[in-house]
Every structure is written in C-alpha cells, then in structure tokens.
Structure 1
Amino acid sequence: MKMEQATYKIPLKSLDTIYLRDQESKVRYWFYGIIMLLGLALFLPWTQNIQAKGDITTLFQEQRPQNINSPIPGKIAKWYVKEGDFVKMGDTIMQISEIKEDYLDPNLVGRTQEQVEAKKGAINFYKGKAATSSSQMQALLAAKNFKLEQLKNKIVQLNNKLNGEQAELEAVTNEFNLAKDQYDRQQKMFLEGLVSQTQLQQRNTSFQNALAKKITAENKIAQTKQELLIVEIDQNGVEQEYAEKISKAEGDRLQSLSNIASGQGEMAKLENQVTNYKIRNGMYFILAPQDGQIVQASKAGIGEILKDGERITVIVPTRVNYAVEMYVRPVDLPLVSIGQKVRFMFDGFPAIIFSGWPENSYGTFGGKVVAFEHTISANGMFRVLVAEDPTDRPWPQQLKLGTGAQGIALLKDVPVWYELWRNINGFPPDYYTLDDAAGKGSTKK
C-alpha cells in the first residue's frame, strides 16, 4: 500500500503537456483575429466583371476557313494535294477535265478565232460594198445633173425657136390679113365688073399662098410646143429615173451598213466567246486562293463528277489575326462598350484566376471589345467581338480557330462589402465609360 502511494506522487510531464490544465486557452484570440481580418478584407478593392464563354475566330472574313468550290462542272483528272498539306497562294490543288459537249473540242479557241477572222472579212466586204454604193450614188447624181442640164439647154433652145416662129407667124398673119383684104376688094370689084376674072384669080392665089404660110407657121409653133412639152416630160422622167436609181443605190448602201453592224455584233459575240473559252481553259486547274492548310476534302479519287459551284475542300488560312466571339446575356449587354478591357482564359493554357483581382491572376490574356451585334442571336444572347489588346502581352501562337475561351469583361473597382451587398440585393454591376476611366465622367448603374 505504501508502495502504491509513493508511485502516484511521482510528477508526470506528459500528463501536464496533453491536457494543459494549468494554461489559459488562446482560441478566442484567434477568433477575434480572424474576424478582424475578414472585416478588413471587406474593404479590399474588388473588380466587378461579366463572365461569358466564347470561341476563337478572326475579324477578317478572308482569314476564316473558306470553301474551295468548282468554278465549272467537270470531272476530276488529278489531285495535287492531300488533306493536311500546307499550300501557298497560287498552288495547284486539283485538275479537272471537261464533260459538256459544247467544250469538248480541244481546238475550240482556234476554231472560234477562225470564225472571228471570217466575220471580219465579211465586214470588210460589206464596207467595200457600202463604199461602192456611195460612189455609185455620186455618179448617178452627177449623171442626173448632166442630163437635166442638157434638157434645160434644149428647153431654152425650143423656147427661142418658139419665139422666132411666133414672130414669123405674126408676120405671116399680117401678110394673110393683107392678102385677104385685097382678095375681098378684088372679088367685090369683080362682081361690079371693074376687074377681070384673071385679076381675081391672081388675088385668090396670093390669098391662098398667105393662108398656107400662116397654117405652116401655126403648125411649126404647134410642133415646137409639142417638142417643148416632150422635153419637159423627159425632164420629169429623168428626175424620176435617177431618183429610183439613187434610192436603190442608197438602199444597197444602207443594207451594207446594216450587214456591217450585224457582223460587228456577231464578231463581238464571237470574240466574247473566245475570251470566255480562254478563261474557262484556265479554270481546269483549281488554285489555292491564299496560304493555308487543306482540310475536309469532300471528293475522292479520279473521275468523280463535279457540279458547278460544288465544294471540293476547305482551306484554313495560316496567317490569322485572332479574335474572340463571345455571347453575353441581354441583361449584361448595356455594360459592354467599344474599347472595354476583357481578360481571357484559353482552352489548353493553364491559368490561375481571381475574378475580382485580375492583376493577381496568372495565365490570362488581355483583349479589347471592337464590336457587338445589335440583333440577338439564335441562342438568345448577343454576340461580342474582342480583339487582342496591343498594350497587353501577346496571345499564344498555338491558338487555333474554334478554340474555346472564357472571357471576363472588367467593370468598375468597388469594395468587397459593396459587391456582397449588391449581389445580396440583386442590383446590377456598376460600369464606367472611357471618360470615367480618365476621371471625366460619372459612374452609371
């Protein structure tokens, strides 16, 4: 018994160390310290943001993947590339051959050119014919003027002759009147027995001669007038005759000019065909429109038929100015503005994110909003385009079109307590304009 009591009186250090019966607890100090730290953390700055998912794209249409289509219907003759090959602009991708019967002639361009030359010869022939018709018209006009001048001279001569005959008729008429008067007196005297019958017969003879001269003169005048009328009729006939001849020559000239115009139109059409055939011959070789990689070939083998405009393959450009297309909710669209800063996390690139402290994040890349659409997309959101920020570190060269991206659009810096209070009450984030960033504007809500 004494032995046991002596054993209990031995001091045990482990017992005092484990239970700390004689020491004061410090848990409350740690509690108060943590509370104070949390209270101080509520006053730390917090960057409000909008988060949205997107994909890698490009701002330029010519840098996006594009289809390579067949410009004409044809048959695959030879492939010069395979899927995955990189090509330079102008490299041959495929050769096709003709399948339409209108273009099967291998010498189609030369034969069409011969038709052009033949049409040129026909046009030159009609030009010569038109020139000949013009010369013929000038000759007919000269002959007409000469003929009319002759008839005019003849008319003048007949008028002069008519004037002379009229003067002669007047003299013969005077002589006839005198002979008639003498004959009448002689006859009267014969009845009275003053003159003999022989004298009366002599006067009668003189009277008959004067009458004959008068009739002759009148006949000459009538004949001259008839000749004058015939010449005038001939003059009208010459006018009509040469008018018909000149009209016919003019018709031939106009017909030649019409044939020239028609021939020139046909020649232009043939020349157009020659040009089209030459251009079509150049379409048998399908060339790369730009530098890029050949992917998604939709045709295989040799001899497959291609339709007009049918897709052959796809080329992905190698030189791309990348951008991100992301979609934001309609409620967040008013918070997005041109030139706004955005941080990105790209798929495949590790990153450590503190959404409220972007400056302390690692592995993110900067961008700037360059455009946003004013119409809603099929997914119920608005599309926003963000380009690389030249003032930030460059985006990775390993990026490819279609790579996913997580975007964080940066808004106003506020205290942590304000951000908690805003989220609890469901208020929208604050944002600033470019003037606000320069200290010229006011914060909006």
Structure 2
Amino acid sequence: MKTYLNTSFDKIDEAAKMKSFSDIYQINKRSSIKKWFYGILVISLVILLLPWTQNIRSNGNITTLRQEDRPQEINTIIPGRVVKWFVKEGDFVKKGDTILQLGEVKVEYFDPILLQRTQRQIDAKNQSILAYEGKASTSVTQTEVLRNAMELKLNSVDNKIGQQKLKITSDSADLAAANNALNAYTRQIAAAKVMLDSGVISLIEFEKRRVTYQDAIAKTTSSGNKLNQSKQELLNLRIERNGVVQEYLDKIAKAEGDRFGSISAAASTEAEVLKLENTLANYDARQQLFFITAPQSGQITKAMKAGIGEMVKEGDMIVEIVPQNTKLAVEMFVSPLDLPLINKGQKVTFIFDGFPAIVFSGWPQTSYGTFSGIITAVETSVSPNGKFRVLVAEDKDDRPWPKNLRMGGGSKGIALLKDVPIIYELWRNINGFPPEFYVPETKATTTKK
C-alpha cells in the first residue's frame, strides 16, 4: 500500500511539470481580473464624457429644388387620334422637339381648306365694311347738298315774302288814298244834296256827284280787298317757308338716318370680322396643337398611348418627361416633436442608396461616404403621413453630391444638433426627453447683423 501511494504522488509531480497542467491550473498565479475591471471602468467613464452630436434621423427621397424641374406629364389639349410617334420611351429630347402627331376627330373641322374658307369670309366682310363706310360718306355729302338746297329755297321764299310785304305797303297806301277820297266825296255829296234842295244845282249835277261818290266807295272796297289778299299771300308764303323747312329737314333726317344705319351696319360687320378672325386664329392654333412638342429638355418615360390610330381625349396624359440638368434636393419628413429643432440653413448629413458609407452619427467628422446638405425650406402644414416636409439642397461648400443620383431614389438624413456628453445623451434617451434646442450659427450671425 505504501509503495502504491508513493508511486501515485510521483506521477502527480511528474504531471505538474507538464505545460498543459500549468496552463489549466492557476493556483500559484496572480489574477489580473481586477486590473481589467478598473481599466474597463475608466475607459467607460472616459467614453461617457466624450462629446456626442445630437441628431434627428429621417428617411427621405431625392427630388428637385424647383418644382418645374420635377417629372411632368405631357397632356393633350384637344382630342384626336395618334398619327405618328417621333420618339420612344427612354429617348432624350430637347425643348421644342416633336413627340407625337395627332389627327382630327371632330366633323366640324374635317374641311381640308378650312383656314382658306374662313379667310375668304373675313375678306368678304371687310368688303362689306368698305361698302357701308362708302354709303355713310355718301349720306354725309347728300346731307350737305340738302342743307344747301334748303338754304337756297328759303332765300327764294324770303325774297317773295319781302316783295309781298312791299305790295302790302303799297296796297295799304292805296287803301288810305281811297279812304281819303271817299271822305272828300262824302262831304261833297252831302253839300250837293243841300245845294240840290236849295235849287243851286240841278238834279243831273247831283247825280254826277253821287256817281263819283259811288265810284269812291267801290275803289275803297277794292283797295281793301287787295290789301287783304296781299296779307293772305304773305301768310301763304310764310306757310310755304315752313313747309320748305319741314320738307328739307325730313330729307336731311332721312339722309342722317341712312348714314347712322350704314355706320351701325359697318360696326356690326366689323364685329363679325373680329369674331371670324378669332375663329381663324383658333383654327390655326388647333392645327398647331396636333403636333405635341417637348416643353423642356429631358428624357421621355411612361408612354400611356401606344398604337397608331388610338384615340386620345382632351387632357389625357401622353408621356412623362424627366427634365435634365436639374438642381437636386432631398425631401425628408420630421415628426412634430422634432420640428422646433429644424431651422432654415441648418446642415444635414445624407447617406444615399447605392453609395456605401460608414456612419458614426454622434461623430459626423469620423463618418465616411456621407454627403452634406442645407435645409432650404420647412413646410408649415402637416403632410398626410402626420409629419412635416423639409426640403434640403446640396451644400456648395462641402463634398458635391454624386452625379448618378436619380429622382425618386432613397436617402437617410441625419440633421446635426447640439454637442453634448454621451452620458447626457443616454440619460436623455432613457427618460424620453427631446434633443437640445439648437439654432444654426449662420442664422444667429444674420440676426446679429
């Protein structure tokens, strides 16, 4: 038994001398766990005190800075049928290049010489206007002639009236002389009667004087009749003068009415000419609308109509054009909680899909493969997704964006905020507090100025 024990201890001593035995059993060695623990603790404290850049992350899409640079639909203004395609999907076109030719589908525009016929109608109406204007000019001349004729006629009647007045004056003088003679003969016949009664004169002499007295009465009556007749003729001349005035005024009024009628007809015809010219311009513009051209340079995509002879309605989309040489931007959406931290002019770091990058969000200076942008607009109305849209443009002072970016591509945006210690950032995230309010230096400088 003693021999067995000695043999066993000898074997153990021999095993202790082996390398594997010394590596497994650490009984006689000093442990370094405490050193590692304190080292890791110190390093952790140092890391927790390191600065950390707060940020807001958001996914976005590549778009353009100006709305006219975004993909746009090319629509038809008039209905028609497809006659000929000049481009295919994927082709690049310049502004003004013809994309599609349409054909007419409305019966009222089928006339092949519609423009020429409309122009002939306009020419005929213009001739009518000239005729109406000539008629109006003739009416003016006719009015002048009638006025001159009326003046001559009135002068003639006025002369007759003057002559009649002189005749009335003469007849009045004759009547006065006849009355004076009658008065004298009246005295004489009375004296002759007395003398006849006294026997101074004979009956024959008395009869002679009475005959003379009767002649004087007849002459007086005749002179009075002549005067009354002359006055009546004067009245007739005045009536005739009024009739002449009325007659010529009627003729002048008729001529003036014809003139105004011609002017009105010319104006109405001119309105018809303007309407026809408008129609002609519309016909001409419609002819030009059959050729759909590119509004700007770009690439043709999404052709909605394909076959020859296929019908298109008014306002239908034909193709979509993607403009070239656009100023790209990124639209990202920020939650209402982070919106107060976003300001115009603030810098944003991007990671574009398809471009590898190594990102340390808390240390943006150590990131690789990222691109910088500047916030140019922050919308004040909420989007359908419950967030606010932010538009970010390329930062000209930093690394340029890749040339292979395409509209609609994805990106991840990191809006850089305030620098804080890592321990504070951990405490903030644990408690669910928002990041620190931050105002860009450029904006603060501008406000100070």
- Return the TM-score normalized by structure 2: 0.94
Equivalent position of 1:177 in the other structure: 183
CA change 1:5–1:269 in 2 (3 A) is: closer
Distance 1:82 1:191 in 2: 150
Distance 2:127 2:445 in 1: 82
Aligned 1:299-318 pairs, distance under 5 A? 299-318=305-324
Equivalent position of 1:91 in the other structure: 97
Equivalent position of 2:411 in the other structure: 405
Residues 154-174 of structure 1 deviation map (CA, whole Å, 9 limit, x = unaligned) = 111111111111111111110
Equivalent position of 1:269 in the other structure: 275
Letter in 1 for 2:70: R
Equivalent position of 2:394 in the other structure: 388
Residues 201-256 of structure 1 deviation map (CA, whole Å, 9 limit, x = unaligned) = 11012112212221221121111111101100001101110111011001000000
Aligned 1:420-435 pairs, distance under 5 A? 420-435=426-441
Distance 1:437 1:161 in 2: 112
Structure 2 residue 257 is matched with structure 1 residue 287: no
Equivalent position of 1:255 in the other structure: 261
Distance 2:422 2:287 in 1: 71
- Please tell me the root mean square deviation across aligned C-alpha atoms, in Å: 2.0
- Return the TM-score normalized by structure 1: 0.95
Gaps of 5+ in 1: none
Equivalent position of 1:12 in the other structure: 18
Equivalent position of 2:125 in the other structure: 119
Letter in 1 for 2:116: G
Equivalent position of 1:71 in the other structure: 77
Residue 188 (structure 1) aligned to one of 169, 172, 194: 194
Structure 2 residue 319 is matched with structure 1 residue 339: no
Distance 2:106 2:446 in 1: 70
Residue pair 2:340, 2:437 contacting (<8 A) in 1 also: no
Distance 2:163 2:313 in 1: 88
Residues 368-405 of structure 1 deviation map (CA, whole Å, 9 limit, x = unaligned) = 11111111111111111111111111111111111111
Structure 2 residue 64 is matched with structure 1 residue 61: no
Letter in 2 for 1:133: S
Structure 2 residue 209 is matched with structure 1 residue 203: yes
CA change 1:191–1:439 in 2 (3 A) is: closer
Q: Indicate the SS of the match to 2:248.
A: helix
CA change 1:9–1:62 in 2 (3 A) is: closer
Distance 2:351 2:18 in 1: 60
1:7 Cα offset (Å):
6.2
Letter in 1 for 2:288: G
Distance 1:434 1:164 in 2: 120
1:182 Cα offset (Å):
0.8
Structure 2 residue 378 is matched with structure 1 residue 372: yes
Distance 1:440 1:61 in 2: 28
Letter in 2 for 1:371: A
Gaps of 5+ in 2: none
